[in-house]
């Protein structure tokens, strides 16, 4: 089954699965260089619903948030890698700097973010709670970040 879906195709699948009584979990992020922190996070996020949607920031969205040097990995490759993970049921892309429009469109039952966020600061938390959903924060793996990996590579291999 195809795991990388357009918003419309994903909405149809979400409605079908919700009609079967399944709970929809949603998370989002750049997932630029996939690392153990991402893998462990997604594995835990998957436990919060019957299916897990991973919304990836598009290349334009990542640049708007993180600057012109990012993303390091193009959106198509990031989506393919993320979709290959057992914990992830579906992947979709969004161009905005936040996933709020997509969250409101899909209306997930559970919104999942890393524990480095405060619940009230999680984009979409108010919306998800307004329709009876919940927000779940998952502890992050200390030291596991794309920024740390890039800094290590630059340190080991030099900046030139």
Query: According to the model, what pLDDT value does residue 151 have?
Result: 79
Contacts made by residues 74-83, CB under 8 angstroms, sequence distance 24+: 78/30, 78/31, 78/32, 78/34, 79/4, 80/4, 81/31, 81/34, 82/31, 82/34, 82/42, 82/54, 82/56, 83/3, 83/4
Q: CATH assignment of 7-157, given 3.40.30.10, 1.20.1260.10, 2.60.40.2550, 3.40.50.620?
A: 3.40.50.620
The stretch 132-157 carries a mean pLDDT of 83
Residue 160 has pLDDT above 70, yes or no: no
**Model pTM score:** 0.91
DSSP string, 9-28: HHHHHHHHHHHTTPPEEEEE
Q: Please name which of 2, 1, 3 lies closest in space to residue 91, comparing C-alpha atoms.
A: 3
Average pLDDT over residues 76-92: 97
Res 147 pLDDT > 80: no
Alpha carbon distances (Å) from 159 to 54, 155, 156: 33, 7, 9
| pLDDT at position 41 | 95
Q: What pLDDT, on a 0 to 100 scale, did the predictor assign at position 51?
A: 97
**Domain range list for the chain:** 7-157
User: Does the pLDDT value for residue 152 go beyond 90?
Assistant: no
At 4, is the pLDDT very low, low, confident or very high (cuts 50, 70, 90)? very high
Judged against a pLDDT cut of 60, whether residue 156 lies above it is answered with yes
Average pLDDT rounded to a whole number, residues 64-69: 93
What's the pLDDT score for residue 89? 98
Model confidence at 74, pLDDT cuts 50, 70, 90, reads very high
- Of the candidates 124, 104, 105, 160, which has an alpha carbon nearest to the alpha carbon of residue 29? 124
| Res 144: pLDDT | 66
How much is the average pLDDT of 89-99?
98
Give the model's pLDDT for residue 153.
78
Give yes or no for residue 132 having a pLDDT over 80.
Answer: yes
């Amino acid at each position: 089954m195809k795991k990388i879906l357009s918003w419309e195709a994903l909405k149809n699948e979400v409605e079908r699965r919700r009609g079967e009584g399944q709970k929809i979990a949603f998370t989002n992020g750049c997932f630029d260089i996939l690392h153990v922190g991402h893998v462990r996070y997604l594995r835990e996020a998957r436990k919060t619903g019957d299916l897990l949607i991973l919304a990836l920031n598009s290349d334009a969205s990542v640049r708007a948030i993180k600057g012109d040097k990012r993303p390091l990995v193009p959106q198509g490759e990031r989506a393919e890698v993320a979709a290959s993970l057992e914990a992830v049921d579906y992947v979709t892309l969004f161009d905005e700097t936040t996933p709020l429009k997509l969250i409101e469109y899909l209306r997930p039952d559970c919104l999942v973010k890393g524990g480095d966020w405060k619940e009230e600061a999680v984009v979409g938390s108010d919306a998800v709670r307004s329709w009876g959903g919940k927000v779940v924060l998952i502890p992050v793996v200390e030291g596991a970040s794309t920024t740390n990996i890039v800094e290590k590579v630059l340190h080991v291999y030099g900046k030139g």
